[in-house]
C-alpha cells in the first residue's frame, strides 16, 4: 500500500480507538519508569480522562454517515457508534470503581498493569463494534479476551484468582477454537472474510451440501460465542471467574465484556447468516431456520441462571448467575428477530450497565469493609448506612424488573418483542416465570439489609469514585425507568434505526 493511499483514508473515524490506544501505550511507559512506591491511582485518573475524551470523540462522529476504511475492514455505522457509547460509559464507571479499590489482596503490586490492560481490553471491544471483516472481528475479540484472562488472574498469589484465570483461559481457548473453526467454513464457502461480500455471496447459495456446511458453521459460531456470553449450557466458567477476580474486573466482565459479546454475536450472525439462504435461491434465510436453537439457549440460560442463583451464599457468585440470566433475557430479544430487536437489545444493555455497576460498587464497598463476600455481610446495612442501603435497594429492584425502573422498561421491551411478527409464547412464559424466581434472591439481599441485625455498627467512609458510580447508576436507573423515551429518542435520532447495518 502506497503512502498516498494510506493518507487518503478517513482516519478520523478511528479517533476514539487512537485515543485509547495512545493512552494505553503512555500508561505502559509511565508504569515502567514510575518509582515502585508511588501510588498508581494517577494512572487510573488518566484512563478516566482518556475514556471521557473517547466518548466526546464518538459523539462528534454521530452525524457522520457510513464510512469505511482499509478495504471495508473497519466501518463506522450507527451500530458501531451506539455500542461504542455503551462500552465507553461502562468502562468509565468501572474505572471509577478501580481507582477506589483498596488493593490489600496482592493486586497492589500490579495496579499499574491493571489500568493499561483494562484499556487494551476496551480497545478490543471497540474494534469489534466497527469490524466489517471476520479477521478484524477476531483480532478485536482476542485483544479483549487475552487482556481479560490476565485481569482475572492478576492477584497471582491468591489461589481463587489462579483458579478463575485457569478456568477462564481453558474455556476461552475452547470457545475461540470452535468459533474460528466455524468462521473457516464460512471462508471456505465464500472465499472472502469481508462481511458484506460474504452476505452477498451467500444469498445465491444453491448447492444443498454447501447449505448443510453453512448450517454447521452457524452452530459452531453460535456455540463458540455462547461461551463468551456465559449463556447456558456454556456458562460453567462464569461463577468461579466472577468470584476469583477483583471486584472491578468482575464488574468489567459482567457489563463491558458481555456487551462486547453481544456485539460480535449480532455482527456475525446477522451479517453472515441474516441473508444466507437455507435451501437455494429465494428460500428463507438460514438464521430464521436456526431460530429455535437460539431460543433454546435463551430459555435454558434464563432457567439455569435464575434457579441456581437461589442457592448462592456468595454475593459475587449470585451476581454471576444473575448475569447469566440477564444474558438469557437479551437472547430472547435476539431470537425474536423483529424490527424492534435492536432497540430492545441496546436499551436493555444500557439499563443493565447502570443497575449492575451500581450494585457492584456497593458490593466492593461491603467486601472491603468486612473482608468477605457473603450475602450475610449485608445484614443491618440500613442501620449502618441508610443511604447506601436504599441505593442498593433501588438497584436491586431495577435488576428484578420492578415498574418505575430502567430494568422494568428493558424487560417490557423484550417481552413485547416476543409477540411481534411471529409470537414466541414459550419464551415469553419462561421470561415471566424466571423473572418471578429472580425476586427471591434479589429480595434475599434486601431482607438482609433492612430486616436483619447488624453484627458491626461501624459506619462507612465512601470513596469519591464509588459516590460517582452510585449517583450516576441510581439516577439513570430511575430516569430511564420513568422517562425511557429519553434513551429511545436518542437512539432513533442519531443512529437511524440501524438501517445502515448491512450497507
Looking at the predicted structure, is the pLDDT value of residue 7 above 90? no
DSSP β-ladder status, 74-76 and 67-69:
antiparallel
Question: What pLDDT was estimated at residue 107?
Answer: 58
The residue with greater pLDDT, 2 or 87, is: 87
Question: What pLDDT was estimated at residue 10?
Answer: 75
Q: What is the mean pLDDT of residues 367-386?
A: 86
Confidence of residue 5 (pLDDT cuts 50, 70, 90): low
Question: What pLDDT was estimated at residue 72?
Answer: 83
Looking at the predicted structure, is the pLDDT value of residue 106 above 60? no
Q: How confident is the prediction for the chain on average, in pLDDT? A: 89
Confidence of residue 290 (pLDDT cuts 50, 70, 90): confident
Backbone angles phi, psi at 194, to 5 degrees: -75, 130
Q: What is the mean pLDDT of residues 238-263?
A: 92
Question: What pLDDT was estimated at residue 209?
Answer: 85
Backbone angles phi, psi at 193, to 5 degrees: -110, -5
Question: What pLDDT was estimated at residue 443?
Answer: 93
Q: What is the mean pLDDT of residues 106-125?
A: 83
Q: What is the mean pLDDT of residues 83-104?
A: 90
Question: What pLDDT was estimated at residue 70?
Answer: 82
Looking at the predicted structure, is the pLDDT value of residue 380 above 90? no
Looking at the predicted structure, is the pLDDT value of residue 205 above 80? no
The residue with greater pLDDT, 372 or 418, is: 418
Confidence of residue 481 (pLDDT cuts 50, 70, 90): very high
Looking at the predicted structure, is the pLDDT value of residue 66 above 60? yes
Which candidate, 267, 290, 97, 280, places its Cα nearest to that of 202?
Answer: 280
Which candidate, 151, 333, 314, places its Cα nearest to that of 229?
Answer: 333
Question: What pLDDT was estimated at residue 300?
Answer: 95
Helix (H, G, I), strand (E, B) or coil at 68: strand
Which candidate, 314, 208, 155, 123, places its Cα nearest to that of 322?
Answer: 314
Q: What is the mean pLDDT of residues 238-247?
A: 90
Helix (H, G, I), strand (E, B) or coil at 314: strand
Confidence of residue 4 (pLDDT cuts 50, 70, 90): low
Q: What is the spatial distance between Cα 144 and Cα 137, in angstroms, rounded to a whole number?
A: 11
Question: What pLDDT was estimated at residue 95?
Answer: 94
Q: What is the mean pLDDT of residues 32-44?
A: 85
Q: pLDDT per residue over 396-413, tens digit each?
A: 999 999 999 999 999 999
Looking at the predicted structure, is the pLDDT value of residue 165 above 60? yes
Question: What pLDDT was estimated at residue 110?
Answer: 64
Question: What pLDDT was estimated at residue 279?
Answer: 61
In the structure grid, which three cell numbers stand for residue 258, read together?
Answer: 458481555
In the structure grid, which three cell numbers stand for residue 277, read together?
Answer: 439462504
Q: What is the spatial distance between Cα 62 and Cα 74, in angstroms, rounded to a whole number?
A: 16
Looking at the predicted structure, is the pLDDT value of residue 252 above 70? yes
Q: How many H helices and E strands in the chain?
A: 22, 2
Confidence of residue 289 (pLDDT cuts 50, 70, 90): confident
Query: Measured on CA atoms in the order 482, 486, 492, 498, is the torsion positive or negative?
Result: negative
Task: Determine what percent of the chain is predicted with pLDDT higher than 70.
Answer: 95
The residue with greater pLDDT, 375 or 160, is: 375
Question: What pLDDT was estimated at residue 408?
Answer: 95
- CB-count burial class (<10 Å; 0-12, 13-18, 19+) for 255: buried
- CB-count burial class (<10 Å; 0-12, 13-18, 19+) for 246: buried
Amino acid at each position: 500500500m502506497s503512502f498516498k493511499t494510506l493518507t487518503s483514508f478517513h482516519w478520523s473515524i478511528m479517533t476514539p480507538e487512537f485515543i485509547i490506544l495512545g493512552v494505553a501505550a503512555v500508561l505502559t511507559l509511565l508504569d515502567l519508569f514510575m518509582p515502585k512506591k508511588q501510588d498508581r491511582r494517577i494512572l487510573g485518573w488518566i484512563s478516566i480522562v482518556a475514556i471521557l475524551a473517547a466518548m466526546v470523540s464518538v459523539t462528534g462522529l454521530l452525524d457522520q454517515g457510513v464510512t469505511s476504511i482499509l478495504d471495508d475492514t473497519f466501518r463506522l455505522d450507527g451500530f458501531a457508534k451506539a455500542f461504542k457509547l455503551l462500552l465507553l460509559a461502562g468502562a468509565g464507571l468501572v474505572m471509577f470503581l478501580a481507582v477506589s479499590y483498596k488493593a490489600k489482596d496482592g493486586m497492589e503490586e500490579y495496579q499499574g498493569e491493571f489500568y493499561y490492560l483494562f484499556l487494551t481490553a476496551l480497545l478490543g471491544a471497540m474494534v469489534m463494534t466497527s469490524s466489517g471483516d471476520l479477521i478484524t472481528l477476531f483480532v478485536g475479540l482476542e485483544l479483549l479476551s487475552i487482556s481479560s484472562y490476565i485481569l482475572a488472574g492478576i492477584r497471582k498469589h491468591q489461589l481463587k484468582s489462579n483458579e478463575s484465570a485457569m478456568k477462564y483461559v481453558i474455556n476461552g481457548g475452547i470457545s475461540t477454537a470452535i468459533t474460528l473453526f466455524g468462521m473457516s467454513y464460512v471462508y471456505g464457502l465464500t472465499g472472502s472474510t469481508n462481511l458484506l461480500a460474504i452476505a452477498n455471496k451467500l444469498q445465491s447459495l444453491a448447492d444443498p451440501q454447501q447449505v448443510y456446511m453453512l448450517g454447521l458453521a452457524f452452530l459452531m459460531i453460535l456455540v463458540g460465542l455462547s461461551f463468551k456470553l456465559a449463556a447456558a449450557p456454556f456458562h460453567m466458567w462464569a461463577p468461579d471467574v466472577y468470584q476469583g477476580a477483583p471486584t472491578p474486573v468482575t464488574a468489567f466482565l459482567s457489563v463491558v465484556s458481555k456487551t462486547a459479546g453481544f456485539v460480535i454475536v449480532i455482527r456475525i450472525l446477522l451479517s453472515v447468516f441474516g441473508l444466507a439462504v437455507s435451501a437455494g435461491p429465494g428460500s428463507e434465510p438460514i438464521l430464521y431456520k436456526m431460530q429455535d436453537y437460539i431460543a433454546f439457549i435463551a430459555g435454558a440460560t434464563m432457567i439455569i441462571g435464575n434457579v441456581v442463583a437461589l442457592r448462592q451464599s456468595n454475593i459475587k457468585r449470585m451476581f454471576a448467575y444473575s448475569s447469566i440470566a440477564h444474558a438469557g433475557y437479551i437472547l430472547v430479544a435476539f431470537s425474536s428477530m423483529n424490527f424492534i430487536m435492536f432497540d430492545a437489545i441496546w436499551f436493555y444493555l444500557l439499563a443493565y450497565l447502570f443497575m449492575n455497576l451500581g450494585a457492584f460498587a456497593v458490593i466492593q464497598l461491603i467486601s472491603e469493609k468486612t473482608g468477605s463476600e457473603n450475602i450475610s455481610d449485608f445484614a443491618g446495612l440500613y442501620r449502618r448506612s441508610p443511604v447506601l442501603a436504599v441505593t442498593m435497594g433501588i438497584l436491586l429492584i431495577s435488576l428484578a424488573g420492578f415498574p418505575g425502573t430502567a430494568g422494568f422498561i428493558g424487560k417490557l421491551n423484550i417481552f413485547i418483542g416476543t409477540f411481534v411478527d411471529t409470537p414466541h409464547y414459550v419464551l415469553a412464559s419462561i421470561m415471566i416465570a424466571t423473572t418471578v424466581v429472580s425476586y427471591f434472591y434479589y429480595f434475599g439481599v434486601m431482607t438482609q439489609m433492612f430486616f436483619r441485625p447488624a453484627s458491626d455498627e461501624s459506619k462507612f467512609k465512601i470513596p469519591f469514585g464509588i459516590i460517582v458510580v452510585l449517583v450516576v447508576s441510581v439516577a439513570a436507573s430511575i430516569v430511564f425507568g420513568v422517562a425511557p423515551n429519553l434513551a429511545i429518542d436518542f437512539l432513533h435520532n442519531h443512529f437511524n434505526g440501524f438501517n445502515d447495518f448491512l450497507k
